[in-house]
Structures are given as structure tokens and as C-alpha cells.
Structure 1
Amino acid sequence: MNRTTAARGGALRVLSAAPPRWKTRWSRPLGRILDHVVYRTAVSGRENIPATGPVIFAANHLSYLDGPVMVGAASRYMHVMVRHDMFKGFLGWVLHSSGQIPVNRAGDRSALQFAKGVLDRGDCVGILPEGTRGTGDAATMNGGVAWLALNSGAAVVPVAILGTRRGHEHRNTIPRPRRQLYVVFGEPLEIGREPGVSGRVSMDRASEKIRLRLAAHIAAATAATGQELPEDGHPTSKHKGQQP
């Protein structure tokens, strides 16, 4: 069951269990409308997405649109980790009803456990590990992806999302309809615990391995598509958690 709590002048929807699989059945069609009706989205690399088994989609973060665009582009349904204070009002109802997972950037063990529950049943989780909207180059990231990969055995698929923000556009910019967007799925990465090292060291090494793979994938995608990353004068956030 789910409960609500009052915060910031509105009722926030929170979870008490992993969201059920069936809730994602209408989020991907909506994502595809966004990708191919509202915008023009070129998708490549779907053959890299494992057809079965748990998958973590780890994407760079430029805009509010990144999560929905990724959902519409993927060949599998996914539950995306979204900043918890988005779960209020009509948008909160949409996010909750489509099976997304609220996460508090200040540190949220329960959100990771819910995401692990999704992976343990063989389903997919989407995560934006940079933690906040920025240049999208994966220069830094939080440890959520590594923790999930190490504790679930899920494959990590790097995702480059390009065009949702360009040049000097503000972080809050929503691009005009019919803009060309790009989503590129990379080859899956398997993450395992290293024998003879502590859990903390394993986490740090896994996080850096994932970050380097994602950063290299983003660089390759920008070269292949010709779509540059935006310029951004704000420092990259190092908060734990994800922001849409």
C-alpha cells in the first residue's frame, strides 16, 4: 500500500513497497508519444539492451525530459528513480500511477531497496546518477547505480541522451516541439564484487568503472550524432539520489 505525507505545501506520494510491474504498461506509450509525436527522437543501440533479466539503465542528465524520453526509447519497460518532491499534485499522481520511484537526494535507503526489489524480480530500473541536471558529461556521479548493480547482479546499460538541452539554455528549459533528440543505448556492463576487498572499496571501484563507461559512451554518442552537450555555468551537484 502507499501513503501520503504533507510537505512543502502539498501532499507527497511515497512508497512502502516496490511499485508493481503493471504500472509501467502505460508509461512507455506516453514516452513514445513524447519521443515521436512531440519531438523527433533518433534511437540507436536497442540491440544492446538484454531481452530478459534485470537491467539498470544509467543515463546522463540534462533536462526534465531525460527520464520520459529514455522510457519511450527503450525496448523494455522500466521504473525510473525520480526526485521525491516531484510526487505531488497532478504530476505526482502521474509519476505514482506509472510506477516511478521517489528518491530523496539527501540520502534514501528505502528508494534503493524498492529499486532492488524491482531488479530482484527481473525487471528494469532507470536512474540518472549524476544527481542533478548539468552538462551531462558524467564527470561525477553518486553511488546508487553501483550499489544496485552489486546487490542485484543486474546488467548496467549506459544511456546517452542528447538534445533535451542545448548551448546556454537554462536547466529548467523545456525544448520546443519537433526538436531533434537522440537516445543511444550502449553495451551492457557487468559489475561484480571483487574478492579480498572491503565493501566500501568495491563500491568505490564499481562507481568509477560505471562512471568511466558512461562518460566514454556519452563522448562517443556526441561524436556519432554531432549533437554537443550543453554549456553550464553551475557546479555539478554531488548530492545522493536522482533529480528529473
Structure 2
Amino acid sequence: MTSAEIPEPREADSPDQAAVRQMGATYGFGRFVVAPLARLIYRPRVEGKANVPKTGPVIFASNHLSFIDSIAIPIAAPRPVHFLAKSSYFDGPGMAGWFSREFFTAIGAVPVKRGAGQAALDALDQQRQLLDGGSAVALYPEGTRSLDGRLYKGRTGVAFLALQTGAPVVPVGLIGTDLVMPVGARFPSMTPRVTVRFGEPLDLAHHGAADSGKARRLATDDIMAAIHALSGQELANAYNEAPAHSPIERIRQVLPHERR
């Protein structure tokens, strides 16, 4: 083989580039074109980026105030973030269906079928597979959006996933997303600024195994305390009993809930 035939060594992909390559061109477009444009328009205040591990599995556990929370976190995070979205966003007909599919793919959403029982377990398994592959996922321990702005008690599904996979949990405090796009609004407002705060990673392993109800409850309480410190919300001291809107929120119907 002559020197001309020896292939030039290719520089290894960064974790961010590798994730984009796996998700495809649409996600790459969203990550490197749409996200910077959104940051330019909305000028979010992002704090604590250095707290986010650059590689390896990580769970972003956030408060939940608005539909755009699942857009704000991927835009603000220094690495690709994935979350579950109902499969109907990906399989609609016509131009509207195409736009919905492309949009949710661009922001890192992973389709999953809605429902309790096996569907909820399948959703949990999808999150586990993403973490096993070294990806970052975003979840809402409250289960569904807070309609009154208060921070509700956390469900134990996020802690279960963290204890089972060993992934660190980065708490996230979102401020102002409910003003940009209140519940019921069809389009976001251009005026209010959003603040996204990333807290220090939580290692929850000391609480015990994932199959321990006490360990899940204590780990969940740690996660919610960290979110509260970042968001500054009033505590509801109750569970948000609004109907769940996605399978991952319905995990609470499958896993036992330790209440106290």
C-alpha cells in the first residue's frame, strides 16, 4: 500500500457530535441551528453549566411549569438532552404531522406510546436504554405541570431510575417558563426572560437499592429539596394529582408510592 492509499486519521467525535450523529440530521439541525437561534431570541439566563457532567449518563430532574420546559432544558444544556414525548407527535398525517415530527425530533424528543401498565414500563425501559448508552435524559419528578406555580412533592420514578442505573441526577430549577407560555396558550410570548439553573450532581447511591421503597422515597426527597433550592418556589407539600400526560408520568401507577 502506498502512502497515497493510507487513509488520513479522522478526529474522534466529541460526545456531543456522536449523539447528534446517532439522532440524525434533523436533531443535528435542531442542536446547532435552532437552539442557538432560540437562545438569541429569548436570551435565557443559564446558571451552573459547569455542574453538568460532560460525558456519561445523567438525569436532569426539573420542576415543571410549562410546555416549553422540554424546550428550555435542551436549549440551555451544554450537551444533548432527550425526553419522552407521546408517539402521536411523531405519526400525524400531512404537512402538520411532518412539522410536528421534525420539530420534536429536532429538540431531542423520543416517541413513546401513552398508557399505564406495560406502556409505562416500556417508557421507563426506554429511559434506561438511553442512560445505558451514556446519554442525558430530562424528567419531571412532579409528574405533570404545576398549574399554580407551587412545587409539588416528587414521585419516586426518577429516583428509581437513578438508583437502578447509577446515573447522577442534576437538579434543574426553571424560572419564568410559565410566563413565556402559560397553560392554555397556543404560542409563546416573546417578552419574559427564562432562567435555567443547573445544580450540582446528586449521587443518591447511599440511600440504598432501587427495590427499596425507603431508598426511593429518601432519594426523591433529596432531589426535590435540590430543585426547590434552585427554583425558590412555594412548596405545595402535596402531590400534584392532575392527570398524567405521558407514559413516564404514569410510572407512578406501576411503582409503589411511598407517602409520608
Normalised-by-shorter TM-score class: 0.7 to 0.9
RMSD, aligned α-carbons: 3.0
- Per-residue deviation at 1:64? 1.2
> What TM-score, normalized to structure 2?
0.69
1:63 shift after superposition: 1.1
Among residues 54, 58, 64, which one is paired with 2:57 in the alignment?
54
Q: Contact (CA 8 Å) 2:160, 2:210: kept in 1 or not? A: no
Higher strand share: 1
Paired amino acid for 2:218: R
Call closer, same or farther: CA 1:194–1:161 in 2, change over 3 Å: closer
Q: 2:241 and 2:208 mapped to 1: Cα distance? A: 33
| Correspondence 1:119 to 2:131 | yes
Q: Aligned partner of 1:91: which letter?
A: S
Select the residue among 16, 28, 32 that pairs with 2:31. 28
In the alignment, is residue 218 of structure 1 matched against residue 231 of structure 2?
yes
Identity, % of aligned positions: 32
In structure 2, the residue matched to 1:101 is 110
Counterpart of 1:51 in structure 2: which amino acid? K
Q: Who is 1:179 aligned against?
A: 192
User: Is 2:242 the partner of 1:237?
Assistant: yes
> Which residue type is aligned with residue 154 of structure 1?
A
Aligned partners of 1:26 and 1:98 also within 8 Å: no
Give CA deviations for 1:25-69 in whole Å, capped at 9, x if unaligned.
3333323322322x2211111011111211111111111111111
Counting helix residues as a fraction of each chain, which structure ranks higher?
A: 2
Structure 2 regions of 5+ residues with no counterpart?
1-19, 235-239, 251-260
Contact 1:40-1:180 at 8 Å conserved across structures: yes
Contact 1:150 1:193 in 2 (8 A): no
Aligned residues: 210
Cα distance change of structure 1 residues 140 and 186 upon mapping to structure 2, 3 Å threshold: same
Residue 77 of structure 1: how far off its partner (Å): 0.5
Considering only CA atoms, is the larger Rg found in Structure 1 or Structure 2?
A: 2
Q: Measured at CA, do residues 124 and 210 of structure 1 come closer, stay the same or move farther in structure 2, by a change above 3 Å?
A: same
* Counterpart among 139, 146, 159 of residue 152 in structure 2: 139
- The equivalent residue for 2:167 is 154
Distance of aligned partners of 1:197 and 1:119 in 2 relative to their CA distance in 1, 3 Å threshold? closer
Q: CA deviation at 1:119?
A: 0.8
Task: State the AA in 1 paired with 2:213.
Answer: R
Unaligned runs of 5+ in 1: 1-18, 223-228, 230-234
2:139 partner amino acid: I
Moved more, 151-160 or 201-210: 201-210
- Structure 2 letter corresponding to 1:237: A
SS class of match (1:180): coil
Partner in structure 1 of residue 84 of structure 2: 81
